[in-house]
């Protein structure tokens, strides 16, 4: 199996069997709603942060396979990370899509599968929507003790 085929199967697997899908009715969760009108992607994410650590991430929405798969991948990648680590991983993910050289690609785990999306500028928004939503929730908490 070549890398392209492997990456495609990772994306399809997350699309068909999304992790951490479904919202939680709990006021301790931060909720962020974002959409991407160019593709029709619409997503709501939730974050539960305790002691500057992300203990749970949830997502729910409608969208293309890339958007939905990325929401699942993000929810796994950022789980149990500190706010700083999560924002750093998110930045690394954006850099990957922009074709920048990363010091250590492997920290991105399944998110590496989206590397090829960078070749389709119209789809970059699909691949980053969930990450942007999580980032929007985390950004105000940055450096907050
Ligand atoms: Zn999309």
Tens-place pLDDT, residues 34-87: 999 999 999 999 999 999 999 999 999 999 999 999 999 999 999 999 999 999
Q: How far does residue 46's CA lie from ligand 1's centre (Å)?
A: 20
| pLDDT at residue 2, rounded to an integer | 85
CATH number at residue 57: 3.90.1010.10
Residue 11 structural domain: 3-141
| pLDDT at residue 144, rounded to an integer | 52
Q: How far does residue 90's CA lie from ligand 1's centre (Å)?
A: 18
Q: How many domains does the chain divide into?
A: 1
Tens-place pLDDT, residues 96-120: 999 999 999 999 999 999 999 999 9
Whether pTM > 0.75 for this model: the answer is yes
Length of the chain: 145
Q: How far does residue 6's CA lie from ligand 1's centre (Å)?
A: 20
Within 10 Å of residue 103's Cβ, how many Cβ atoms?
Answer: 7
Q: How far does residue 129's CA lie from ligand 1's centre (Å)?
A: 9
Main-chain dihedrals φ then ψ at residue 82, nearest 5 degrees: -75, 165
Q: How far does residue 122's CA lie from ligand 1's centre (Å)?
A: 9
Q: How far does residue 67's CA lie from ligand 1's centre (Å)?
A: 5
């Amino acid at each position: 199996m070549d890398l392209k085929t492997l990456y495609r199967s990772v994306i399809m697997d997350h699309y068909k069997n999304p992790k951490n899908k479904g919202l939680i009715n709990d006021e301790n969760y931060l909720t962020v709603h974002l959409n991407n009108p160019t593709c029709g992607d619409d997503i709501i994410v939730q974050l539960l942060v305790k002691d500057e650590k992300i203990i749970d991430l949830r997502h729910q929405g409608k969208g293309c396979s890339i958007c939905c798969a990325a929401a699942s991948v993000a929810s796994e990648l950022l789980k149990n990370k500190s706010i700083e680590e999560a924002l750093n991983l998110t930045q690394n993910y954006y850099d990957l899509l922009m074709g920048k050289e990363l010091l250590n690609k492997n920290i991105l785990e399944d998110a590496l599968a989206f590397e090829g999306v960078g070749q389709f500028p119209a789809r970059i928004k699909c691949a980053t929507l969930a990450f942007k939503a999580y980032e929007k929730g985390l950004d105000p908490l940055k450096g907050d003790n």
